[in-house]
Amino acid sequence: MENNYAFQILQQIRELYAQINLSFAHSEACTAEDANSKVGHLTPQQLLVVKLIGHEGKTTISTLCQQMSLSKGTVSGIVSRMVAMDILEKHHDENDRRTVWIRFSPAGKKLAMQFRSHMSGVLDTLVKDFSLEEQAALSQNLNRLIKSVKSGN
């Protein structure tokens, strides 16, 4: 008998991811203003860059490519647009000038803090109807699924 749940689970994960990204993209957290710039609504890929740099503090194009599963040209374009929007800055490594670090600009730090605050509220809403035990079980099962996908099983 065929496992019809595998495709359904994949579709549900895709829908959940899309809905969360839409929530972020349409939130006030994705708009920041300061004296020098106005940052408009961010694309889902730009939001992912904000999430990843917010988690790491700084990163490189190569690392973003791996984390986002996108080509260097695509990620470079995303980062360049975010630099032009005054969200990100590029800095050469002091010890190896070939390495270029990507990190938040001051305006980008403000945006990331707003984004994190909003994200926390969205995620709290996402699991509000789940008990702590159900949240733990869901997290464990999602981790098992991730490990399975990574190992190719």
Q: What is the pLDDT of residues 116-139, one digit of tens each?
A: 877 777 788 888 999 999 999 999
Number of independent structural domains in the chain? 1
* Choice between 123 and 40, residue whose per-residue pLDDT is larger: 123
CATH number at residue 42: 1.10.10.10
Evaluate if pTM is beyond 0.85.
Answer: no
Query: Domain range for residue 143?
Result: 5-151
Q: From CA 17, how far away is CA 126, in angstroms rounded?
A: 12
